Structure 1
Amino acid sequence: MKRSIVVIFLVGMALGGALLLGSLAAFEYTNTTEFCISCHEMEQTVYQEYLKSPHYKTPSGVTAGCPDCHVPRAWGPKIVRKIQATNELYQKFVTGSIATPELFEEKRLELAEHVWDYMDKTDSRECRACHNQSRMDFHKQSRRAQEKMEQGLLDGKTCIDCHKGIAHKKPREDD
């Protein structure tokens, strides 16, 4: 009797561990650029824009992928963001509201505004994970960039306030 309880316990622990590891692997896979562009709307639109952006084409070859800009690194905020992303999947697969590149373009501004609001609320946390203002050499920037960056810092602006459209086509806000 005791032996069968131990066996059941060990099998349960092994299955639980496998389930946990499988869930973590799936969770991490959803945190890749390959997963982000797995639907043709993203691959044909925003991904093509990203390939021409400074986040992909860099002199050093160091690039930022979709999760670097759109998913927090810290576990708690990452989970919250993943839950929010389920709404995006709902919009895509259930309602079909962005099921084609044309429908995506119709909603581009609304979608961008969600991202901009999120980045504003988090003080552009994902930007700051790579871009540290304390290590910026303003003297190596153009005069205009130097002035704008320094004034933005003084005014308490966050990255997205000035850098909308840095990785993707900026939607028209006046429509």
Structure 2
Amino acid sequence: MGNSDRKPGLIKRLWKWWRTPSRLALGTLLLIGFVGGIVFWGGFNTGMEKANTEEFCISCHEMRNTVYQEYMDSVHYNNRSGVRATCPDCHVPHEFVPKMIRKLKASKELYGKFLALLTRRRNLKLIV
């Protein structure tokens, strides 16, 4: 058995595949990219809309047990006109760029909350 029977390494095979010209037409690649972009944008937009609901806001137990109870007794929840103001109406910017900036800041807050939760659990295990 000589060295000629061995398959080339993974990196060499990937490099060969990458540098050979594509057999797909440019139009096919553009169509795949266009459809992929629509699917990505649809998923992204759906996620943003779900994150801008009152249910999402009160999914955190701190909100549900404190501020949400106060909100249900306020004029924002019950009023003569029947129009209900929800959390995102006032606490989330409506324009796209400011909304994305606020979402990034909120993710930092979630990271801090998650680390504090882990620290509390670790401390509780040490106490017990």
Q: TM-score, normalised by structure 1?
A: 0.50
Paired position in structure 2 for 1:75: 96
Corresponding residue SS for 2:83: coil
Q: Structure 1 stretches of 5 or more lacking a match?
A: 100-175
Equivalent position to 1:63, from 57, 60, 84: 84
**What do the CA deviations read for 1:68-94 (whole angstroms, capped 9, x no partner)?**
121122223222222221122112223
Equivalent residues in 2 for 1:1-175, closer than 5 Å: 4-96=25-117
CA distance in 2, matches of 1:70, 1:57: 19
Runs of 4+ off more than 6 Å: none
Corresponding residue SS for 1:45: helix
Q: Structure 2 stretches of 5 or more lacking a match?
A: 1-21, 121-128
User: Over aligned residues, Cα RMSD in angstroms?
Assistant: 2.2
Corresponding residue SS for 1:96: helix
1:41 Cα deviation (Å)?
Answer: 2.3
Identity of matched residues, %: 47
Larger RCO, structures 1/2 (Cα 8 Å, 6+ apart):
1
Corresponding residue SS for 2:25: helix
2:38 aligned partner, one-letter code:
G
Corresponding residue SS for 1:62: coil
CA distance in 2, matches of 1:8, 1:77: 33
1:96 Cα deviation (Å)?
Answer: 2.2
1:52 Cα deviation (Å)?
Answer: 0.7
CA distance in 2, matches of 1:77, 1:9: 31
CA distance in 2, matches of 1:8, 1:76: 30
CA distance in 1, matches of 2:114, 2:74: 28
**What do the CA deviations read for 1:99-144 (whole angstroms, capped 9, x no partner)?**
8xxxxxxxxxxxxxxxxxxxxxxxxxxxxxxxxxxxxxxxxxxxxx
Identify, as 1 or 2, the structure richer in helix: 2
Higher Cα Rg, which structure: 2
Alignment coverage as a number of residue pairs: 98
Q: TM-score, normalised by structure 2?
A: 0.66
Paired position in structure 2 for 1:136: none
CA distance in 2, matches of 1:91, 1:42: 16
CA distance in 2, matches of 1:53, 1:81: 25
